[in-house]
């Protein structure tokens, strides 16, 4: 029950009605700054972008925007380079998010044993997610140098084959996935660990009495109880993984041979190297649509909306 | 089974668990160790093979070069001003909105909250083009104002959602007592609610700060010289014909350090902030 409600039931009559109207006005007033910020900096440029996407605007061609209707969208549908980028991005997001989720759950189980010193180790593990992505790209590029890098040195010492990392089309995308896993597993771990720490004790005690093994306990108790937390962490990660740009930009610029040409890298090229802003805007809108559909499917399948609205009703 | 056997088994489990935990930590810590040591090495030592681990003469040469050759102090100030301003702006707008959504009787609250959240979903590569065009048109391209506004917007959903949860956590009875004592709604907010919100505000602020401080894409497209931020200049160190690994690593350390320190200080509310209030840490 809201406070307004409890207060207004105490008073009765006309004064009550006037007060409620005043309340509402104060509430809207408080929302105004956020509302202005959202519309001026957020939605207005987006609407403008929709308009640009219907023109052939390119500032390097005299800068006059001619209305071309849906031509840009038609071109985009046949743009194989774009769909290649979309495919790569989906592969990248799936592999990276899934791996870091599994790693994060395993790490959480391990660190939930709470041996002395684990708090310190946990804090150290958090650090990668705080490092500026550009810095992450720089240091991994140093480490992944094929002939002089420390990673290949370590591989040789333990008796494995040195790798070409980002220098070969075959392994470049996987190298970027590895970097992404390194940087964002800590994020998933932090959230999943918080979830595991706050699980109720009684189901586990009951399972212990029934003599259930650890694997059985994990799949029939821990995992179902953790689901809301896992869904939220995964959703946030999916949203962010789709916009991955910084590490790919620093490490490969989309190469070699377009092997790491993620959507954001391709869009950057269309917009800011060729300055094909009309076409780029159309591509942006198609990207936005694809990402929205994927997020929508995920929220449906995972019951995210239910999780959030249960929290709201608390 | 003899008790001796059991204790051996337990001992080996403990050793195994510690080994795993240390291995995992090493995986996440090693690149950071490598970045910090590389920033203290000469370029010759960074590309030495086999690698030089810890036995080298550390020097601050790379940091000196950052200041003298790249003028990184200016970019540091740019970053600090832009990110500082935008964080304050997002905090102010967002906290007021969060208070309205948490405590006032407003129609379509849920809808408003989800509209704010949709900003979090928007990929910056989509909004950067119209911002670029409009900014050139308005003459704010490559100024503090543009990035400040952009970062304030991207911080807004965090502030609204996280602060809403923190405000809901404060018992309403405290506010009601102040209202009965004759305070107005805004006075109550200022004198009673806000002081209680301080830890939550600080934690949210750190997260908004972190995302803006680390942002690269908008910064690289919407600035050219005057308003360049740290990530842009760090990326430029690898743009040059001869790649300056030492300077790049040093730039990495310089930009990462403030965030690492700030966030580790505020670790307690980190989970809640990062999940927009959805998970309690």
Query: What single string gives the DSSP state of each residue in A216-278?
Result: HHIIIIIHHHHHHHHHHHHHHHHHHHHT--HHHHHHTTT-STTTT--HHHHHHHHHHTS--HH
Which of B105, B270, B279 shows the shortest C-beta gap to A24? B105
CA B264 → CA A259, A273, B261, distances in Å? 36, 39, 5
Token pair listed for A221:
């108790």
Are A177 and A165 contacting, i.e. CB atoms less than 8 angstroms apart?
A: no
Q: What is the pLDDT of residues A98-110, one digit of tens each?
A: 999 999 999 999 9
A166-170, A260-264, B61-65: range with lowest mean pLDDT: A166-170
Q: Which of A9-13, A48-52, A227-231, B260-264 has the lowest mean pLDDT?
A: A9-13
Nearest chain A residue to B18, by CA: A115
| pLDDT value of position A6 | 45
> In this complex, which of B28, B46, B179 lies closest to A7 when CB atoms are compared?
B179
Q: Pick B61-274's CATH classification: 3.30.70.20, 1.20.200.10, 1.20.120.530, 1.10.3720.10.
A: 1.10.3720.10
Which one-letter DSSP state was computed for residue A176?
H
Give burial (CB, 10 Å; 0-12/13-18/19+) of B88: middle
In which band, very low, low, confident or very high, does the pLDDT at B50 lie, cut at 50, 70 and 90? confident
Cα A182 to Cα A179: distance, rounded to the nearest angstrom: 5
Tell me: pLDDT of A77 over 60.
Answer: yes
Q: Can you give the C-alpha Rg of chain A in angstroms?
A: 25
Whether residue B206 is predicted with pLDDT greater than 70 in this model: the reply is yes
How confident is the model at residue B2, as a pLDDT?
62
pLDDT category of residue A13 using cuts at 50, 70 and 90: low
Contact A121 B131 (CB under 8 A): no
> Is A84 in the same domain as A9?
no
Those residues with Cβ within 8 angstroms of residue B5's Cβ, 6 or more apart along the chain or in another chain? none
Q: Which position has the higher pLDDT, B123 or B29?
A: B29
pLDDT at B124: 87
Distance from the B42 Cα atom to the nearest Cα atom in chain A, whole angstroms: 13
More confident residue, B206 or A148: B206
pLDDT band for position B240 (cuts 50, 70, 90) = low
- A295 in B contact zone (CB under 8 Å): yes
In the stretch 238-257 of chain B, residues with CB closer than 8 A to chain A read 238, 245, 248-249, 251-253, 255-256
Contacts for A263-270 with beta carbons within 8 Å, 24 or more apart?
A: A263/A82, A263/A85, A263/A86, A263/A88, A263/A89, A263/A287, A263/B125, A264/A89, A264/B123, A264/B125, A264/B217, A265/A85, A266/A81, A266/A82, A266/A85, A267/B125, A268/B125, A268/B217, A268/B221
Side-chain half-sphere exposure of B131, counting CA atoms within 13 A: 28
Determine the Cα–Cα distance for residues B227 and B75; give it in Å rounded to an integer.
Answer: 8
A284–B21 C-beta distance less than 8 A? no
Report the CATH number at residue A296: 1.10.3720.10
Residue at A64 is within a domain: no
Residue A60 lies in a domain: no
Confidence of residue B82 (pLDDT cuts 50, 70, 90): very high
Residue A63 domain-assigned (yes or no) = no
Name the most confidently modeled range: A161-165, A302-306, B247-251: B247-251
Kindly state whether A274 is in contact with chain B, defined as any CB-CB distance less than 8 angstroms.
no
CA gap A185, A106 in Å, rounded: 11
Residue of chain A whose Cα is closest to the Cα of B260: A130
**A170 plus A294 within the same structural domain:** yes
In this prediction, residue A278 has a pLDDT band, given cuts at 50, 70 and 90, of very high
Q: Which whole number is the average pLDDT over A214-225?
A: 91
Give me the pLDDT at residue A14, please.
Answer: 64
Decide if A13 is inside a domain.
yes
* B214 in contact with chain A, both atoms CB, cutoff 8 A: yes
Which pLDDT value is given to residue B1?
Answer: 53
Chain A, nearest residue to B124 by Cα: A243
Q: Are both A213 and A259 inside the same structural domain?
A: yes
- Give the confidence band of A1 by pLDDT, cuts at 50, 70, 90: very low
B24/A4 touch (CB, cutoff 8 Å), yes or no = no
- Its domain, for residue A176, covers 73-313
Which tokens belong to A302? 């995972």
Q: If pLDDT is split at 50, 70 and 90, which confidence band does B217 have?
A: very high
Burial label for A251, CB within 10 Å (0-12, 13-18, 19+), is: buried
Tell me: do A131 and A169 sit in the same domain.
yes
Q: Do A187 and A123 lie in a common domain?
A: yes
In a domain, A67, yes or no: no
CA distance A141 to chain B (A): 9
- Written in H, E and C, the secondary structure of chain B is CCHHHHHHHHHHHHHHHHHHHHHHHHHHHHHHHHHHHHHCCCHHHHCCCCCCCCCCCCCCHHHHHHHHHHCHHHHHHHHHHHHHHHHHHHHHHHHHHHHHHHHCCCCCHHHHHHHHHHHHHCCHHHHHHHHHHHHHHHCCCCCHHHHHHHHHHHHHHHHHHHHHHHHHHCCHHHHHHHHHCCCCHHHHHHHHHHHHHHHHHHHHHHHHHHHHHHCCHHHHHHCCCCCCCHHHHHHHCCCCCCCCHHHHHHHHHHHHHHHHHHHHHCHHHHHHHHCCCCCCC
pLDDT beyond 70 at A172: yes
Asked if A49 and B216 come within 8 Å (Cβ–Cβ), the reply is no
For residue A41, being part of any structural domain is answered with yes
Residue B254's pLDDT band, with cuts at 50, 70 and 90, is very high
Residues in A closer than 8 angstroms to B271, CB to CB, are 190-191, 194
**Beta-ladder partners of B151:** none
d(CA B114, CA A144) in angstroms, rounded, equals 42
Q: Residue written as tokens 């490598």?
A: B34
Q: Read off the pLDDT band of A2 (50, 70, 90).
A: very low
Count of all residues that appear for chain B in the document: 281
Residue A67 bridge partners (DSSP): A55
B45: confidence class by pLDDT, cuts 50, 70, 90: confident
pLDDT for res B241:
62
Name the pTM for this structure: 0.90
Domain count, chain A: 2
On whether both A296 and A242 belong to a single domain, the answer is yes
pLDDT of residue A4: 45
Of residues A262, A276, A244, the one with CA closest to residue A81 = A262
Omega of the bond prior to A256 within 30 degrees of 0, cis? yes
- In a domain, residue A25? The reply is yes
Is there a contact between A132 and B213 if contact means CB atoms under 8 Å apart?
yes
Q: Which of A218, A29, A300, A178 is nearest to B185 (CA)?
A: A29
Q: Mean of the per-residue pLDDT values for chain A?
A: 88
Question: Could you tell me which chain B residue has the CA closest to the CA of A296?
Answer: B121
A141 to B47, B48, B246: CA distances (angstroms): 12, 15, 12
SS3 assignment, position A66: coil
Banded pLDDT at B54 (limits 50, 70, 90): confident
Same domain, A279 and A247: yes
How sure is the predictor about A312, in pLDDT bands with cuts at 50, 70 and 90?
low
A65 located within any domain: no
Q: Single out the residue of A240, A311, A126, A227 nearest to residue B268, CA to CA.
A: A126
Asked if residues B132 and A280 have their Cβ atoms less than 8 Å apart, the reply is no
Residue A55 pairs with which residues in a beta bridge?
A67
Q: Give percent of chain A above pLDDT 90.
A: 59
What's the rounded mean pLDDT across residues B155-169? 91
**Tokens found for residue A56:** 């052939």
Q: What percentage of chain B has pLDDT greater than the value 90?
A: 48
Quote the CA–CA distance of A20 and A71 in Å, as a whole number. Answer: 52
Chain A CB within 8 Å of residue B121 CB: yes
What confidence score (pLDDT) does residue B226 get? Answer: 87
| Distance in angstroms (rounded) separating the CA atoms of residues A117 and B18 | 9
- How far is residue B27's CA from residue B50's CA, in Å, rounded to a whole number? 20
- What mean pLDDT, rounded, does chain B reach? 89
């Amino acid at each position: 029950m809201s406070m307004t409600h409890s207060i207004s039931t105490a008073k009765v009559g006309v004064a009550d009605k006037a007060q409620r109207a005043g309340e509402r006005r104060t509430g809207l007033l408080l929302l105004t700054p956020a509302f202005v910020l959202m519309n001026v900096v957020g939605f207005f440029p987006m609407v403008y972008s929709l308009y640009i996407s219907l023109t052939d605007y390119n500032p390097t061609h005299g800068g006059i925007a001619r209305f071309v209707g849906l031509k840009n969208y038609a071109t985009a549908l046949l743009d194989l380079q774009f769909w290649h980028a979309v495919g790569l991005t989906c592969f990248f997001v799936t592999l990276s998010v899934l791996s870091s989720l599994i790693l994060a759950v395993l790490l959480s189980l391990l660190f939930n044993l709470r041996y002395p010193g684990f708090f310190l180790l946990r804090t150290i593990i958090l650090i990668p997610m705080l490092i500026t992505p550009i810095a992450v790209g720089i240091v991994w590029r140093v480490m992944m140098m094929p002939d002089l890098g420390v990673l290949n040195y370590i591989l040789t010492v333990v008796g494995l084959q040195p790798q070409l990392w980002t220098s070969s089309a075959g392994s470049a995308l996987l190298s970027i996935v590895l970097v992404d896993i390194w940087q964002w597993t800590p994020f998933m771990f932090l959230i999943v660990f918080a979830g595991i720490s706050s699980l109720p004790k009684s189901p586990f005690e009951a399972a212990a009495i029934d003599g259930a093994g650890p694997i059985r306990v994990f799949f029939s108790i821990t995992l179902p109880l953790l689901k809301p937390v896992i869904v939220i962490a995964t959703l946030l990660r999916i949203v962010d993984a789709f916009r991955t740009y910084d590490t790919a930009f620093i490490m490969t610029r989309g190469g070699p041979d377009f092997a790491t040409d993620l959507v954001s890298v391709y869009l950057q090229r269309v917009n800011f190297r060729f300055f094909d802003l009309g076409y780029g805007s159309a591509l942006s809108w198609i990207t936005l649509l694809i990402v929205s559909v994927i997020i929508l499917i995920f929220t449906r399948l995972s019951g995210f909306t239910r999780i959030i609205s249960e929290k709201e009703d608390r | 089974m003899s008790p001796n056997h059991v204790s051996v088994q337990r001992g080996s489990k403990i050793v195994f668990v510690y080994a795993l935990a240390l291995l995992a930590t090493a995986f996440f810590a090693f690149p950071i160790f490598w970045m910090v040591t590389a920033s203290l090495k000469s370029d010759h030592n960074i590309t030495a093979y086999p690698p030089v681990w810890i036995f080298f003469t550390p020097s601050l040469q790379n940091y000196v070069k950052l200041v003298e050759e790249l003028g990184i102090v200016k970019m540091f100030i740019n970053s600090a001003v832009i990110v500082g301003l935008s964080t304050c702006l997002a905090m102010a707008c967002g906290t007021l909105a969060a208070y309205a959504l948490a405590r006032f009787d407003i129609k379509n609250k849920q809808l408003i909250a989800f509209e704010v959240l949709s900003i979090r979903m928007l990929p910056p590569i989509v909004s950067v083009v119209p911002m670029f065009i409009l900014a050139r048109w308005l003459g704010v391209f490559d100024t503090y104002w543009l990035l400040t506004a952009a970062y304030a917007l991207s911080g807004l959903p965090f502030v609204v959602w996280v602060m809403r949860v923190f405000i809901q956590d404060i018992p309403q009875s405290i506010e009601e007592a102040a209202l009965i004592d004759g305070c107005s709604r805004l006075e109550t907010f200022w004198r009673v609610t806000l002081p209680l919100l301080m830890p939550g505000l600080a934690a949210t602020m750190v997260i908004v700060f972190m995302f803006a401080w680390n942002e690269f894409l908008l910064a690289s497209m919407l600035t050219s010289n005057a308003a360049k931020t740290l990530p842009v200049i760090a990326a430029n160190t690898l743009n040059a014909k001869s790649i300056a690994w030492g300077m790049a690593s040093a730039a990495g350390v310089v930009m990462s350090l403030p965030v690492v320190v700030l966030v580790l200080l505020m670790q307690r509310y980190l989970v809640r902030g990062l999940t927009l209030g959805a998970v309690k840490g």
